[in-house]
């Protein structure tokens, strides 16, 4: 099992389901490619924010979204543990996104990237290549 080096579980799941960092079933939710990808991005580009609810912020659905969550698409990759929205703090989001496109999604780790948004949506959907889409 892969656990993130740089991200806590509370950054990846919403408060209504969070049961602590060692609750394995929540790590099991995620496709490990997604978790590996955000660690690589963090290592290369510096600090990135995902969910902020633990510190009193409003973001809670940037990682896993329960099926009861009506934010985003009905079959959003977030609902399958295959998507994460990052906000890079030390680097421009477009620079990071372009790097991921140029490296073909970190050599295939990432298969979906959303364009024209202020955050960095990455996912590892069932796709051969890199699926680029707009909101």
Among 85, 100, 110, 113, binds Zn ion (CB under 5 A): 85
Shorter beta-carbon distance to Zn ion: residue 22 or 118: 118
In the complex, minimum distance from the CB of residue 17 to Zn ion, in angstroms, rounded to a whole number: 18
101, two tokens: 């496109």
Shorter beta-carbon distance to Zn ion: residue 24 or 126: 126
Cβ(64)–Cβ(72) below 8 Å: no
Binders of Zn ion in range 25-84 (CB under 5 A): 83
- Residue 72 CA to residue 42 CA, distance in Å, equals 24
- Which of 79, 115, 78, 118 shows the shortest CA–CA distance to 100? 115
- Backbone angles phi and psi of 86, in degrees to 5: -110, 150
Specify the stretch interacting with Zn ion by CB under 5 A; choose among 34-42, 45-53, 105-113, 120-128: 120-128
DSSP state of 9: G
Shorter beta-carbon distance to Zn ion: residue 1 or 123: 123
In the complex, minimum distance from the CB of residue 87 to Zn ion, in angstroms, rounded to a whole number: 11
11, two tokens: 């950054």
Specify the stretch interacting with Zn ion by CB under 5 A; choose among 9-17, 36-44, 46-54, 119-127: 119-127
Decide if residue 121 touches Zn ion (CB under 5 A). yes
DSSP state of 78: G
Cβ(93)–Cβ(83) below 8 Å: no
Ranked by CB distance to Zn ion, the top (closest) residue is 121
- Give the interface size with Zn ion as a residue count (CB under 5 A): 3
Binding site for Zn ion (CB under 5 A): 83, 85, 121
């Amino acid at each position: 099992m892969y656990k993130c080096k740089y991200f806590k579980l509370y950054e990846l799941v919403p408060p209504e389901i969070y049961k602590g960092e060692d609750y394995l079933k929540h790590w099991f939710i995620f496709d490990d490619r997604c978790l590996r990808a955000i660690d690589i991005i963090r290592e290369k580009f510096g600090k990135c924010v995902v969910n902020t609810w633990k510190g009193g912020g409003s973001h809670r659905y940037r990682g896993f979204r329960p099926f009861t969550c009506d934010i985003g698409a009905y079959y959003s990759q977030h609902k399958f543990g295959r998507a994460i929205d990052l906000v890079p703090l030390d680097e421009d989001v477009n620079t990071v996104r372009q790097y991921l496109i140029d490296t073909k999604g970190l050599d295939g780790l990432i298969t979906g990237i959303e364009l024209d948004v202020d955050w960095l949506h990455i996912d590892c959907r069932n796709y051969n290549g890199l699926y680029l889409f707009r909101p």
